[in-house]
Amino acid sequence: MSVELCRLVGSVYFATVGYTPDKVAGALRARSEVTRLVVFHGHESNVGTRRALDQLARTCQTRGIELERVELADPFLLGVALKTFRRAAERHRPSAFNVSGGTNIMQVAAVLTCSLLGIQMESYNVEVRGLQRLPPIRLESPVARGATTLQVVRHLARHPGQRPLQVASALGISPSRLSYHLGRLRTAGLLPPRRAGDPRLILLDGAQAILGIS
C-alpha cells in the first residue's frame, strides 16, 4: 500500500508515555499511516510529563497527526488504567498500542488490554530504529488454580459490597477459611487492602478480566 493511500485510510495509534517520548516519536516515523495519536499519561502538572507531551505535540504537528491526550486519574492504579484503556479502545479501535512508556502499572495495564481485546502491541527499539511486535500474554493467575478462591471472586463479582460474614455464609465456608482466600486475592492485587471501619468487599476493576472469568 502506498504512503498516499495509507494516509487516506488512516489509523488510530495508542501509546503510553512517561518522561521520554522518543519511542513513541520513533513509532510514528515508522507508521506513516497513523492520522491520530491517543497518548495516555500521568498528571500534566509533572514537569517531565508536560515536557514529553510538548515534544509529542510538535512531532504530531510536523507529521500532520491529530493528538489526543488522556490523563490518568492515578497512573499507579491498575484498575484505573485498565478501565481508561478499555473505554478508549472501544471508542477508537486502534490499529496498535505502543506499550513501552509511562509507569510500570500503565505498561502492565496496556499489555493486559491488548491481550484481552486482541490489539496489536508493540515497542520501538531506539537502538535499531525499528518497531518490535510483541505477542499477547496468556492471562492466567496462580489465584485461578484455587476452586474456592474462584468461588469467592465470582460471588464478589455478583454481590459487591458484602461483608465477610455474609460471603462466608453464602459459600458455606468458615470465616477463617474465607480470610485465607481474601488474603490470596489481596496478595494478587485483585482486592484492595482492608480499610478500618469498612469491612465491605469489592473487587478491583479488571480482576475478573485478569482471571478470565465471568
Q: Phi then psi for 101, rounded to 5 degrees?
A: -120, 175
Whole-number pLDDT of residue 60: 96
pLDDT recorded at residue 202:
77
Q: What is the mean pLDDT of residues 44-72?
A: 95
Q: What is the pLDDT of residue 37?
A: 97
| Residues 142-211, CATH architecture | Orthogonal Bundle (1.10)
Residue 68's pLDDT is what? 97
Write out the three cell numbers for 36.
491520530
What are the extents of the domains in the chain? 3-134, 142-211
Distance separating alpha carbons of residues 185 and 193, to the nearest angstrom: 10
pLDDT at residue number 210: 53
How confident is the model over 90-138, as pLDDT tens digits? 899 999 999 988 999 999 889 888 877 789 999 988 777 788 888 877 6
Asked if 122 contacts 132 with a C-beta cutoff of 8 angstroms, the reply is yes
Residues 75-84 pLDDT 10s: 998 888 988 9
Q: Which helix (H) or strand (E) holds 88?
A: helix 78-92
pTM, full prediction: 0.64
Mean per-residue pLDDT of the chain:
83
pLDDT digits (tens, 9 = 90+) for 39-57: 999 999 999 999 999 999 9
pLDDT band for position 2 (50/70/90)?
A: very low
User: Are the CB atoms for 111 and 137 separated by under 8 Å?
Assistant: yes
CATH topology of domain 3-134: Rossmann fold (3.40.50)
Least confident of 13-27, 39-53, 56-70, 130-144: 130-144
- Measure the CA angle with vertex 147, ends 143 and 152; round to 5°: 75
Contacts of 32 (CB under 8 A, 6+ apart): 3, 6, 7
* More confident position, 86 or 190: 86
120-145 b/e with 16+ CB inside 10 Å = b? ebbbbeeeeeebeebeeeeeebebbe
Task: Give residue 195's pLDDT.
Answer: 75
Per-residue pLDDT at 169 exceeds 50: yes
